[in-house]
Amino acid sequence: MSQSNQFIQSDANQAAGGATSSRKKEHVELCVGEDVTFRGKTTRLERYELVHCALPELDFDEVDASVEFLGRSCSMPVLVSSMTGGYADAERINRELAEVCEAVRIPMGVGSQRQALESAAQHESFRVARRAAPSIALFGNIGGAEIARSADVDAVRRLAELIDADGFAIHLNPLQELMQPEGNPQFRGVLAGIERLARELGLPLIVKEVGAGLSAAVIRRLLDAGVTTIDVAGAGGTSWSGVEILRRDDGRDDEEFWDWGIPTADAIIEARPLCDDAGATLIASGGIASARDVAVAIGLGAHLVGSARPVLKRLIEQGPDALRAMLDTWNRHLRGALFLTGSRTIADLRNARVVRT
């Protein structure tokens, strides 16, 4: 049986798959073409800076920004966060993203694979990522709302096999589901589903927000459930509430939720001691737009940092070569931050002195 046919496709699922594909296309178009950033709230990363060390006692060529993630070597602690898949042009986007990630040796997550559960029509839009990037750390992705409805471990395992994933992410997006015109804000049972996946899936489990942040209380529950990687995905970058507000045409006024969420810096600071005590990996995403953001986020406690919209905009507007140049610049500037804080490795940078300005 082909991998595409392993998913049972009813007529209702096929129709749902078409609606999901259309929504995914709209999401990408809005993220690239409209201002969907937070309006009155920032990541608060700008409030912190690394302390300059005038006596680093190492040569610049000794600096090593590489890390391991999901069992694979990465040139720097930056990953391309989950973005898209499941509609026609997403195949090209994911292929080009994966090709760049392979070239610069950084991890990548595919967008929500809900559409792959609903229809086999766009499986290649997800599968193409591994074909284009055979050596990078790659992870799959499904929403908490889907897990709440049915924690079908075999179905999630097939989604992982579709892309030969090294890990799997569950995204928590209650705010987005609440704002989405066709949303599903039904989250009772999500934690039990996550706990079952952590126990039975056989892959490292990542749990992430999508831009409203994870609180300490939530992180503690996730770690207790067996989650090994936490992505705080804080507020201050893309407002997915804002994206869904722009998609609405029913006249409903939900503007007060545009800026809802925990700023990225605050979320990292709360998450660090919990993840350290549990031996879990901490990813910081949400508004990461420069090497400075990367370095400060690591200084505050992240092991890796994820970026999405800045990566997507550079790819769509300027092409793969421009995206690779941007990531190469981030790598160079991150290594500069290591050198100028007297940090030989990313682990050293994570323990460098950070001050609030």
DSSP 78-134: EEE-----SSTTHHHHHHHHHHHHHHHT--EE----HHHHH-STTTHHHHHHHHH-S
pLDDT for the residue 252: 86
For 311-337, how does the pLDDT look when each residue is reduced to its tens digit (9 = 90+)? 999 999 999 999 999 999 999 999 999
pLDDT for the residue 207: 98
- Give the span between the Cα atoms of 211 and 37, in whole angstroms: 10
Superfamily of domain 14-356: Aldolase class I (3.20.20.70)
What is the model's pTM?
A: 0.93
- Give the span between the Cα atoms of 218 and 71, in whole angstroms: 26
* Terminal-residue alpha carbon distance, the chain: 59
Cα 118 off chain centre by: 22
- Give the span between the Cα atoms of 221 and 214, in whole angstroms: 11
Residue 316 CB-density burial (10 A; 0-12 exposed, 13-18 middle, 19+ buried): middle
Nearest to 303 by CA among 286, 285, 283: 283
**DSSP single-letter state for residue 189:** T
Residues in the chain with pLDDT values less than 70: 1-19, 151
Q: Which contacts of 190-196 are long-range, i.e. CB under 8 A and separated by 24 or more positions?
A: 190/144, 190/145, 190/147, 190/148, 191/221, 191/222, 191/225, 192/151, 193/144, 193/147, 193/148, 193/151, 194/144, 194/147, 194/170, 194/222, 194/225, 194/226, 194/227, 195/225, 195/226, 196/151, 196/153
Dig out the tokens for 15 from the structure: 């129709």
